[in-house]
């Protein structure tokens, strides 16, 4: 097989990507760009939560329900032959591990992208949010910062502090 054929075959193999990070860091901005570059389906925990829960209380049980549905949809998408990008905090290492296990069971590549952003920028962005699916405010950001399990697996970090052009450059270098 020639190098070009190998590249074509690799591009046809679905990839499962997790875009994780604290609320307000710009995960969705990064996830949208990754999904576009992979021609993949974007699945957001914020959207799924509102689809399956009429009045979410953001309990641990609700979070388990949302992630269960997220993984079910991801499995179906990959089984249909399409790449999928999962956008959520993934603050629990167990959820990140579950994503790697899912990709291994499906025989597809797995990529983890951690999105970071300066806190002052996060605070400003959260205050400006309008019409976004996320209900997280800066208090939730601070609480999740304390609860976020360290990332111990291979990953790429995108710093979303500088603006869209710089974020786009970083995503393009990775995907």
Contact of 113 with 66, CB cutoff 8 Å: no
The whole-number pLDDT of residue 43 equals 98
The whole-number pLDDT of residue 125 equals 80
Q: Specify the residue for token string 């790429």.
A: 156
pLDDT at 5 over 80: no
Burial class (CB in 10 A: 0-12, 13-18, 19+), 16: buried
Q: Which pLDDT tens digit goes with each residue over 8-37?
A: 444 578 999 999 999 889 999 999 999 999
The whole-number pLDDT of residue 135 equals 60
Question: Cα–chain-centroid distance for residue 72?
Answer: 15
- Rounded average pLDDT over 43-72: 92
Q: Which pLDDT tens digit goes with each residue over 96-114?
A: 999 999 999 999 999 999 9
The whole-number pLDDT of residue 81 equals 96
The whole-number pLDDT of residue 160 equals 94
The whole-number pLDDT of residue 130 equals 59
Contact of 47 with 141, CB cutoff 8 Å: no
For β-strands 41-44 and 15-20, DSSP reports them as unpaired
- Rounded average pLDDT over 65-92: 97
Burial class (CB in 10 A: 0-12, 13-18, 19+), 174: middle
Burial class (CB in 10 A: 0-12, 13-18, 19+), 99: buried
Domains of the chain: 26-174 (3.40.50.300)
- What is the spatial distance between Cα 122 and Cα 23, in angstroms, rounded to a whole number? 8
The whole-number pLDDT of residue 133 equals 56
pLDDT averaged over every residue in the chain: 89
With pLDDT > 90 as the criterion, what percentage of the chain qualifies?
70
What does the DSSP assignment read for 62-125?
HHHHHHHHHHHHHHHHHHTT--EEEES---SHHHHHHHHHHHHHHT-EEEEEEEE--HHHHHHH
């Amino acid at each position: 097989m020639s190098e070009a054929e190998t590249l074509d075959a690799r591009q046809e193999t679905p990839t499962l990507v997790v875009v994780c990070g604290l609320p307000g860091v710009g995960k969705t901005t990064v996830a949208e760009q990754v999904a576009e570059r992979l021609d993949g389906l974007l699945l957001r925990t914020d959207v799924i939560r509102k689809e399956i829960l009429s009045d979410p209380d953001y309990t641990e049980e609700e979070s388990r329900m949302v992630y269960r549905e997220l993984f079910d949809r991801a499995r179906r998408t990959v089984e249909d032959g399409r790449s999928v990008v999962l956008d959520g905090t993934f603050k629990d290492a167990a959820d990140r591990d579950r994503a790697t296990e899912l990709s291994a069971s499906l025989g597809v590549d797995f990529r983890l992208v951690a999105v970071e952003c300066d806190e002052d920028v996060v605070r400003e962005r959260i205050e400006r949010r309008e019409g976004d699916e996320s209900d997280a405010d800066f208090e939730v950001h601070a609480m999740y910062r304390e609860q976020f399990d360290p990332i111990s697996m291979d990953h790429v970090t995108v710093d979303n502090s500088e603006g869209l052009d710089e974020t786009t450059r970083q995503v393009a270098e990775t995907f």
